[in-house]
Chains A and B, each alone.
Chain A
Amino acid sequence: MRSVPILRAVLLSAQGLTRTYRLGTQMVTGISEASLSLDAGEFAVLAGPSGSGKTTLLNCLGLLDTPDSGTLVFEGRDVSGLSDKERARVRRERLGFVFQNSQLIPVLTAEENVSLALWIREYSDAESKSRAREALAAVGLGGMEDRKPDALSGGQRQRVAVARAIVGKPALILADEPTASLDSETSRKLLDLFDALHTKLGVTFLFSSHDPRMIERAARRIDLLDGKIVSDRIVREAA
């Protein structure tokens, strides 16, 4: 099925993840027996139609949700049974998130929104500011530090969200349908940015999408259907 580059360290390994949830009176399976392994430096996509389980799997891998069964090892540590507090610590220190609708805090400026990820880690104001400015420059938003989200375009807001995800230098960035609310040109630019960050900074990306144009940009493609991983393959050699 898949071949994993031999020299890369395994960053994340999931075995038999199953997550069901209640929808009204019915139990719905989000993911079933999902197993995958992700190496450091990969640029992978979870592909599949709506309702295929992409978001559920991303939430489980990102320690936002707890699977009903299965094990999850992250950076060599079994994180399946961590307490809520410990999961929060892993999220803030080792993971970065880009959400579908940027999810910026409207009362904060772009710089403060990026700093937020560092404030949570109790960085000093000076350090947060300096690193937030660097991150904004890296996503091409230098000079827009003082703008609030409502003064930014949709694409710019997503870039701020990306800057917020990379500012803490996480081991893995998880992006759930990051281009879903963007037009195709802006989507392309955002994927260019992902690509560039992956290539230049070696950031590991795992994003979900159902848009073929976005999916083809990934080096590895993991297809889901009805909550199951149906294929997992390297589609191009990662940088």
Chain B
Amino acid sequence: MNRWQRLSALNLMRHRRRTLLTGSIVVVGFVAVTMTAGFVSQTFSSLRKATIRGTGGHLKLVDPQAFGKTDDEAAGILLTNWPEIDQVVRKDPRVIQAMPKLQFFGLVSKGEKSAAYLGTGTVPALEKQVSLTTDAIASGTFFENPEGDEVMLGTGLARAIGATAGDLVTVMTTTPEGGLNAQDATVVAVMQYPIKELDDRLLYMPYNVAARLLSAEGKASSVVVLLRGDDVDDVDRAGKDIGAALKASGHPVVVRTWLETAAFYKQVRMLYISIFFFMGLVLSTVVILAVANTMTMSVFERTREIGTLLALGMERGTVRRLFVFEGFLLALVGCVVGTILSLLLREALNASGIMLPPPPGGTKGNLLHVDFIPSAYGIGFAVMSVTLLLASLWPARRASRLNPVEALSHV
């Protein structure tokens, strides 16, 4: 610290209570930024996991002809011979599992009551490992028999036809060729899906049973691939590699990553970022006003001293820097104290065992956990430094532009 910086520090210490109050605003601002970043990061992470689980994996492989088409249009366009696709995909060490899915729709009936459904044929054992539905069982048990004539229904759909776990229902659909087919199945579980529109239509059926119902054995609407890591770049890279490997083996597919299909995730993320940005803006404004007020009072009170410094021949730039450095010093000390406080608060909250409601689109609440985001601490420091520099610029400029004669006679 040079002599002028030391003078700035001494001047800050002059009105301890005022400096403490202004500093505490900086501390609160910094803690708010870092804690919110940690909380939002954890929320994003939960939401990402929930989204990936909702899709069943990180990659979705579809027939090139089905790409870009609506569900109705794509319903009849299936990947053929998915076991071969499965073999190629599984060779990649980044892959945990690949799972065929059949998408179909039709009517489900119980007695006199019928309702439209959106059906998914899936492999129970694989689905159980990844899907959100395991957390969403409201009654009954998750289906386990790959050959069982069983279905799981969304609560809305079950209510619509008056079905409960253990009831027998009839599932009707049209095959890709246009034929009508039906299958009796037992409701083994009712699931509470977080999105009501889906909950009112959701139906799960073992893949093999659905394949028979659709006359689509060995075929799949899509193959969902679960990878070992969630990193967006890694997922992109794996998608490209798997797509290339499948093309080379004579199975051209279109590979879409979970992020490409996760419009909801992207919307929620943007919403959170907007809230975070707005909150930061409000915080910065509060800090700017508080610090500018303190610095302006300081300049006013020290007008005669500033006059003395100017009379002694101090450069106006040096006077300006004295005040700007006071602002920076406040930011520095505030951020150091804020870091300590933030880390302690984070530990306390993470150890508190507070349960949070499910993230948007999720079914299961999470334990409150605030992530440690080093970059948030860096950004917090940068934001506070810039904010305080901005806040001290005007008072500093005012001080440096004082007329020494007027300043010396200031009362």
Contact = CB atoms under 8 A, between A and B. Distances in A.
Contacts of A85: 315-316
Interface in A74-99: 84-85, 88-93, 95, 97, 99
B3 A119 contact: yes
A106 interface: yes
A107 B10 CA distance: 6
B305 A105 contact: yes
Interface residues of A, number: 27
Nearest to B404: A64
Given A65-B405, A108-B7, A84 B316 contact: yes
Nearest to A87: B313
A117 interface: yes
Contact of B314 (A92, A95, A103): A92
A111 to B, nearest CB: 12
A88 B308 contact: no
Interface of B: 3-4, 7, 10-11, 13-14, 304-305, 307-316, 318, 404-405, 408
Contacts of B304: 103
Contacts, number: 61
Given A99-B311, A103-B307, A107-B7, 20 more contacts: A64-B311, A64-B405, A85-B316, A88-B316, A91-B311, A91-B312, A92-B313, A95-B313, A97-B311, A99-B308, A103-B305, A105-B305, A105-B309, A106-B305, A107-B10, A107-B11, A119-B4, A120-B313, A121-B313, A125-B3
B304 to A, nearest CB: 6
A88 B305 contact: no
A116 interface: yes
A35 interface: no
B34 to A, nearest CB: 33
Contacts of A107: 7, 10-11, 13-14
Given A108-B7, A119-B3, A125-B3, A88 B14 contact: no
Interface string A107-131: 1100000001101110001000000
A116 B305 CA distance: 12
Nearest to A113: B308
Given A107-B7, A108-B7, A99 B408 contact: yes
A89 B313 contact: yes
A88 B14 CA distance: 28
Interface string A27-68: 000000000000000000000000000000001001011000
A164 B309 CA distance: 12
Nearest to B409: A55
A90 B11 CA distance: 27
Q: 8 nearest interchain CB pairs?
A: A92-B313, A107-B10, A91-B313, A103-B308, A88-B313, A65-B405, A120-B314, A64-B404
Contacts of A90: 313
The CB with the most chain A CB atoms within 10 A, among B304, B307, B404, is that of B404
Nearest to B318: A120
Contacts of A121: 313
A90 B10 CA distance: 28
17 contacts: A64-B311, A64-B405, A84-B316, A88-B316, A91-B313, A92-B314, A95-B313, A99-B308, A99-B311, A105-B305, A106-B305, A107-B11, A108-B10, A119-B3, A119-B4, A120-B312, A164-B312
A93 B313 contact: yes
Contacts of B11: 107
Given A64-B404, A99-B408, A103-B305, A92 B312 contact: yes
The CB with the most chain B CB atoms within 10 A, among A99, A117, A120, is that of A120
A89 B314 CA distance: 8
Given A64-B405, A107-B13, A125-B3, A116 B313 contact: no
Nearest to A128: B3
A92 B311 CA distance: 8
A30 to B, nearest CB: 10
A157 B318 CA distance: 25
